[in-house]
């Protein structure tokens, strides 16, 4: 899952980025509204965390432009403006959730999980044969036994599960797993897939390789 943080406070943005990356998300940061709008035009994101008081282009204008393009991208407004009028205006313009600074990181991460899960149209727990994946705790289990997965492997599994039965290209995996400045090659994606496959195969869960195109997490035959 890839997230854009549009926030002009470098300290807040850095703290958010570190926390979300540790949770397994790919994170980009835009320090002003114009950069955020450009990023939204050129990159596919799973969530936008948006400050309203951005320089060059306000957060509300970023949101207006996003929705004018008929984008359904989930938007979490994060701002110091806590008046009811500000909250209602943001929600009326198409925001999905609203948090006021200061905030607790644990609560923000919970809201991020809820918004990305809702956007993907999946239940809190995704089942694939013997594999179950808890999107709230971001924990994968096979027959009730937890899998020891790295942050990259969790992110990879999440992408494949939410697109179960569909082909996912290496470029799409790079886009969802990597933020700006992160160098991840197609060879590295192959390594991550190989490691994840070895951990899933004992439970009968198969990641198929479509040579030259990408990967597909196969649906169980019983489904």
Q: Where are the domains of the chain?
A: 2-120, 125-217
For residue 201, pLDDT beyond 80: yes
More confident residue, 119 or 38: 38
What is the percentage of the chain residues whose pLDDT exceeds 90?
A: 40
Report pLDDT for 122. Answer: 58
Predicted pLDDT at 73:
92
Architecture of domain 2-120 in this structure: 3-Layer(aba) Sandwich (3.40)
d(CA 124, CA 205) in angstroms, rounded, equals: 19
Domain 125-217 - what CATH class?
mainly alpha
pLDDT band at 57 (very low <50, low <70, confident <90, very high): very high
Question: What would the pLDDT profile of 69-96 be if each residue is shown by its tens digit?
Answer: 999 899 999 888 766 777 777 778 888 8
Note the pLDDT tens digit of each residue in 202-214.
889 999 998 888 9
The mean of the pLDDT values for the chain is 86
Other beta carbons within 10 Å of 32: 18
Q: Is 110 helix (H, G, I), strand (E, B) or coil?
A: helix
Average pLDDT over residues 190-206: 92
| CB contact at 8 A, 68 and 113 | no
According to the model, what pLDDT value does residue 186 have? 84
> Of 20, 71, 61, 3, which Cα lies nearest the Cα of 37?
61
- The pTM of this model reads 0.65
Q: Please, are residues 58 and 32 in contact by the beta-carbon 8 Å criterion?
A: no
The predicted structure's pLDDT at residue 120: 60
Model confidence at 223, pLDDT cuts 50, 70, 90, reads: very low
């Amino acid at each position: 899952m890839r997230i854009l943080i549009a926030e002009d406070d470098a300290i807040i943005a850095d703290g958010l980025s570190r926390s979300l990356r540790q949770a397994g998300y790919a994170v980009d940061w835009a320090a002003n509204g114009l950069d955020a709008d450009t990023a939204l035009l050129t990159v596919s994101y799973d969530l936008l965390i948006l400050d309203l008081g951005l320089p060059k282009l306000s957060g509300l204008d970023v949101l207006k432009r996003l929705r004018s393009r008929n984008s359904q991208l989930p938007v979490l407004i994060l701002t110091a403006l806590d008046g009811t009028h500000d909250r209602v205006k943001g929600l009326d313009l198409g925001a999905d959730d609203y948090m006021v600074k200061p905030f607790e990181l644990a609560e923000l991460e919970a809201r991020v999980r809820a918004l990305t899960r809702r956007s993907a149209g999946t239940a809190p727990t995704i089942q694939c044969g013997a594999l179950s994946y808890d999107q709230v705790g971001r924990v994968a289990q096979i027959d009730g036994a937890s899998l020891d997965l790295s942050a990259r492997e969790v992110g990879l599994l999440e992408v494949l599960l939410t697109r179960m039965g569909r082909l996912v290209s290496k470029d799409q995996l790079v886009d969802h797993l990597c933020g700006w400045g992160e160098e991840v090659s197609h060879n590295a994606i192959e390594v991550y897939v190989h490691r994840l496959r070895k951990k899933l195969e004992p439970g009968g869960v198969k990641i198929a390789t479509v040579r030259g195109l990408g990967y597909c997490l196969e649906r169980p035959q019983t489904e």
